[in-house]
Amino acid sequence: MGMWVGRGRKARAAYGFDDIALVPGSLTINPNEVDISWELCGRRFQIPIMAAAMDGVVSPKLAIEMGRLGGLAVLNLEGIFSRYENPDEVLDRITSASLEEATKIIQGIYGEPIKEELIHKRVSEIKKGGGPVVVSSIPQRAERFAKIAEEAGADFFVVQSTVTTARHIATEYKPMDLRQLKKHLSIPLIVGNVVTYEACLELMECGVDALLIGVGPGAACTSREVLGLGVPQVTATADSAAARDFYYKRTGRYVPIVTDGGMNLPRGTRIRVGVAGSLEQILFGPAFTEDGTLNLVGAIRTCMGSVGAMSIRELQQTELIIAPSIKTEGKVFQRAQKLGTPR
């Protein structure tokens, strides 16, 4: 399979969200009657949306609000919330800086050491607010931070890097042992990011509880531009789901995969709370624009009703077509009136 890209060299075709479309079903369902809840490591959540572990996305306050609304938000333990007692002042410095100054300011800000007592404090803040506590770190700090987060009362621990594998070769430092980390951790372990069938299968065999899928097409990811790495998100998700299904048939253990990135503005991944609207409005509406940046839950429900999917599992089985022209086909009036584009 694949296409020749040069003499003796083949490449497999891969597809992103803009290349495919879901086929409407022969049965339709009232959108208000579909079930959009999903289960992660034995816990059920009402909306299938996670906020990414980025300082510009998730604060303790947003994590609490996201939990109240039925979703999940991942707090980055490598960021400003574990480095500064008053992170709002730091964020103000970043947002008020010019583009020329921003990089230098950010480099200085992240030079401040991480403080273990602040990890305890942030986990406690989210816990007291009633939200599920999901925190993340890079592999190099995973063993240390996982223990701290667990002691502080975190519900999930995420190990995340540009590319994560079960086997990592290094002589300058001791690679993280995922099997040992999972063995000594009493809370669920989520690992990412990964895109291939083989890598997913090996990570599942290490005992991880869920996987984050995506390298390259994320809204803030520079891996494709800077490193030349990536797989379009639909292909990455389909390959990973195939590994998940094979592993489930072989072992009886179901490992959820969470597609992380690859969606453009109308699907909501680049929305800034407070700019597009409140978090509740972004998730549940009402929408005062037609560009898809508000009422994401309503959009999911309407889509599921149109393809005849009563649950998220059924939605995952929807027929796909390769349709790169569907976003522009016949859209002359939309383009003229700038409908469906962000304000």
Q: What is the pLDDT along the chain (343 residues), one digit of tens a residue?
A: 678 999 989 999 999 998 999 999 999 999 999 999 999 988 999 999 999 998 888 999 999 999 999 999 999 999 999 999 999 888 888 888 887 788 888 888 889 999 999 999 999 999 999 989 999 999 999 999 999 999 999 999 999 999 999 999 998 988 999 999 999 999 999 998 999 999 999 999 999 999 999 998 776 677 777 788 889 999 999 999 999 999 999 999 999 999 987 665 444 344 444 445 689 998 998 888 776 778 999 999 999 999 999 999 999 999 999 998 877 777 666 666 666 665 5
* Among 266, 194, 268, 190, CA closest to 231: 194
3-state secondary structure of 104: helix
pTM of the model: 0.88
- How does DSSP assign 212-235, residue by residue? EE-SS-STT--IIIII-----HHH
Q: Which residue has the tokens 């309407």?
A: 302
Judge residue 296's burial from the number of C-beta atoms within 10 Å of its C-beta, 0-12 exposed, 13-18 middle, 19 or more buried.
buried
CA 299 to chain centre: 18
Report DSSP state, residue 254: -
Name the token pair of 146.
């996982």
Count of CA atoms in the C-beta half-sphere (13 A) of 18: 12
φ/ψ of 290, rounded to 5, equals -115, 20
Name the token pair of 233.
């998100």
- How does DSSP assign 42-74, residue by residue? TEEESS--EE-S-TTT--HHHHHHHHHTT-EEE
3-state secondary structure of 14: coil
Measured on CA atoms in the order 194, 198, 201, 202, is the torsion positive or negative? negative
Rg (CA), the chain: 21
Contact 229, 205 (CB under 8 A): no
Name the token pair of 4.
């020749």
Contact 183, 176 (CB under 8 A): no
- Long-range contacts, 283-289 (Cβ 8 Å, 24+): 283/47, 283/49, 283/69, 283/71, 284/69, 289/342, 289/343
Distance CA 14, CA 233 (A): 8
